[in-house]
Amino acid sequence: MVDGKQKSRLHRTPAGMIFLAGVIMSILLAGVIGYVGTTDLQTAKTLLLVFVAHTFGGRAAGISLCIIGNFNEIWTIVYNFYLEVLIVCFTYSAFVLSVRHYITFRPLRLFFIRLERNARRQKHKIENYGWFGLFVFVMAPLPVTGPVIGSIIGYLLKMPLWRNLSAILLGTLTAIVLWTVSFDFLDAHIHVIKYIFAGIIAVVVLSYLKTIREWWGK
């Protein structure tokens, strides 16, 4: 456990400030969606669905929803990148706070233990390549990659915070740009890609089922 004096300084730690940034970004997002909902309910629904897609399905699903919802390429890139940054702020900071015992809520701790295990399995692929390896790992369109696991790997590698986050965010932005500009090609081959996505979803669902069983001690 951490004493009250340490907890009172939480907002001054890097992880605490990143968590606060995530809170501010979430408030701004809620305000934008709420405002848009007063003038264009369908667009507001799309914005909300894209957020849900990023939370549970990843950037490809979010980008697809934006383009289907007639967002132009610039707004698709900006909005999806914003969501990825928001998610990284929360997951990275909460992971660090869990490791340092600021967070003691058992289901969350078990969730982060699961993430750490996944990160450690991928760590050896990156450690010899440093910043560039982390950048490529985050950019790669594979189910085991992405900014959340990537940021945890950077932490486990004891990479300076600015190097970790710069690799994560630049890799994420690059991936989003590539997904967006290549959407027409992907759409033309959707009959093949849908089976790939079905496989990815199946892997994700099975992974979460195992995590849920661990949460409840079954």
Q: What is the pLDDT of residues 15-43, one digit of tens each?
A: 888 999 999 999 999 999 999 999 999 99
For position 83, what pLDDT does the model report? 93
What global pTM score does this model have? 0.77
Amino acid at the residue 181: V
For position 3, what pLDDT does the model report? 42
Helix (H) or strand (E) holding 202: helix 190-215
Taking residues 116-125, what's their average pLDDT? 80
Percentage helix, strand, coil, to 5, in the chain?
80, 0, 20
| Local structure of residue 40 (DSSP, 8 states) | -
Residues 6 or more apart whose CB falls under 8 angstroms from that of 63 comprise 76, 80, 176, 179, 180, 183
Which residue from 82, 60, 83, 80 is spatially nearest to 71, judged by alpha carbons? 80
For position 2, what pLDDT does the model report? 44
Which residue from 163, 161, 180 is spatially nearest to 21, judged by alpha carbons? 161
Compute the distance between CA of residue 137 and CA of residue 145 in angstroms, rounded to an integer.
6
Tokens 């869990």 belong to which residue? Answer: 98
Q: Does 58 or 152 have the greater pLDDT score?
A: 152
Per-residue model confidence as pLDDT tens digits over 51-110: 988 887 678 888 888 888 888 889 999 999 999 999 999 889 988 888 887 777 777 777
For position 170, what pLDDT does the model report? 93
| Exposure on the CB side of residue 146, measured as CA atoms within 13 A | 21
For position 12, what pLDDT does the model report? 72
Region of 59 please: left (phi>0), alpha (psi -120 to 50) or beta: alpha
Cα 27 to its chain centre, rounded Å, is 18
Taking residues 165-191, what's their average pLDDT? 79
Q: Which tokens is 44 given? A: 């507001």
> What percent of the chain has pLDDT above 70?
76
Q: What is the DSSP string of 136-186?
A: HHHHS--TT-SHHHHHHHHHHTT--HHHHHHHHHHHHHHHHHHHHHTHHHH
